Amino acid sequence: MADHSPEENRLALKVVFYGPALSGKTTNLMQLHSLLNPQRKGELMVLETRDDRTLFFDMLPIGLKGDSGLDLRLKLYTVPGQVQHDSTRKAVLSRADAVVFVADSQAGQQDNNATAFGNLEENLDKVGLDIDSLPMAVQFNKRDLPGVVGDAELQQRWAGTPWAPLQMASALHGKGVIDTFRVLLDRLYTEVDREFALHTDHGIDRDTFIRQLSAASEENRA
């Protein structure tokens, strides 16, 4: 649920990185933090971790200003993937405007992916959101590892879903992270523009929205 306050002309959106434990959600966020150079970028807050594993969540705020002076913020969150932190996952997921599902490409992790996806569906339901109408991008991470499930096979499996085509990534090496994020921004824009008339009321068209929020550091400098 977007947090819109017309008096302050502010719109805050929430994007949640979801997925099984160790699939690379935090890595995605850390990469976005270092690779992105959006109009505005806050600090990456990595809350408690133990052995590199998220206990609470990570958060990165980014933002842009529209022609109307609209102060648009995007808060990017990761959830803890470990099964036992379900109540935290649910709390972080509540009021989400969009979800990036980070799956692990390794063949042995497919069951975990499925379980986590089921858990996402269930928790969305619990916090009053609908998986079919929520903007979402699905990323298969760790493509650099040997023994991953083939690209074509994965694409074919997901072909019939609203989330095709899948995004392939190697977050550790910064590959596919921004692409995934852009796909998400594209889907998110459709929903947000419909509700808040970003284009007509605030002069933010789809291209601006995506470009400004996902500008890569080098591109920006160039």
Partner 1 sequence: MRNFEDDPTLEDLLTSDQLKRLNRMLSALCREPVEISGNRDSGAVALEFNLETVGWLSGGSSGQERLAAADLVSFLMMFIAKYRLAANLHHDTTEASYAELQKQNEALKASEARYRALSSQLQDKVDEQVAVIKQAQMDLYESARLRSVGQLAAGVAHEINNPIGFMSSNLKVAGEYVSDLRQMVPDTDQNRELLDDFADLIGESSDGASRIASIVSDLKTFSSIDQADYTLCDVNELLSSAVHLLQTEYGQDLDILEKPGELPKISGHPSRLSQTFYNLLDNAAQALRAGEQGTQGGRILAKTSVDSDGVRVVIQDNGCGIAEDIREQVFDAFFTSRPVGAGTGLGLTVARDTVRAHRGTIQIDSREGKGTRVTLSLPVR
Ligand X SMILES: Nc1nc2c(ncn2[C@@H]2O[C@H](COP(=O)(O)OP(=O)(O)OP(=O)(O)O)[C@@H](O)[C@H]2O)c(=O)[nH]1
Q: Encode the chain in three state secondary structure.
A: CCEEECCCCEEEEEEEEECCCCCCHHHHHHHHHHHECCCEECCCEECCEECCEECCCEEEEEEEECCCCCEEEEEEEECCCCHHHHHHHHHHHCCCCEEEEEEECEHHHHHHHHHHHHHHHHHHHHCCCCCCCCCEEEEEECCCCCCECCHHHHHHHHCCCCCCCCEECEHHHCECHHHHHHHHHHHHHHHHHHHHCHHHHHCCCHHHHHHHHHCEHHHHHC
Q: Which is nearer to Mg ion, 117 or 158 (CB)?
A: 117
Contact partner at residue 95 from ligand X, Mg ion, partner 1, none, CB < 5 to 8 Å by partner kind: partner 1
202 contacts partner 1 (rule: CB under 8 A): no
Write the binding mask 139 to 178 for partner 1: x where contact by CB under 8 A, - elsewhere. Answer: ----------------------------------------
Contact partner at residue 106 from ligand X, partner 1, Mg ion, none, CB < 5 to 8 Å by partner kind: none
Q: 70-109: which residues touch partner 1 (CB under 8 A)?
A: 73, 75, 77, 87-88, 90-92, 94-95
Contact partner at residue 22 from partner 1, Mg ion, ligand X, none, CB < 5 to 8 Å by partner kind: ligand X
Computed over its alpha carbons, how large is the radius of gyration of the chain? 17
List the one residue from 10, 53, 73, 187 that touches ligand X (CB under 6 A): 53
- Judged by CB under 8 A, the number of residues near partner 1 is 24
Contact partner at residue 174 from partner 1, ligand X, Mg ion, none, CB < 5 to 8 Å by partner kind: none
Q: Are 157 and 163 in contact (CB under 8 A)?
A: no
Cis peptide before 165 (omega within 30 of 0): yes
Range in contact with partner 1 (rule: CB under 8 A) among 20-28, 52-60, 131-139, 159-167: 52-60
Write the binding mask 11 to 50 for partner 1: x where contact by CB under 8 A, - elsewhere. Answer: ---x-------------------------xxxx-x-xx--
The label of the residue with tokens 């080098």 reads: 218
Q: Which is nearer to ligand X, 54 or 214 (CB)?
A: 54
72: how many CB neighbours lie within 10 A of its CB? 26
List the one residue from 23, 26, 123, 167 that touches Mg ion (CB under 5 A): 26
The one-letter amino acid code at 171 reads A
Give the footprint of partner 1 on this chain (CB under 8 A): 14, 40-43, 45, 47-48, 56-57, 59, 61-63, 73, 75, 77, 87-88, 90-92, 94-95
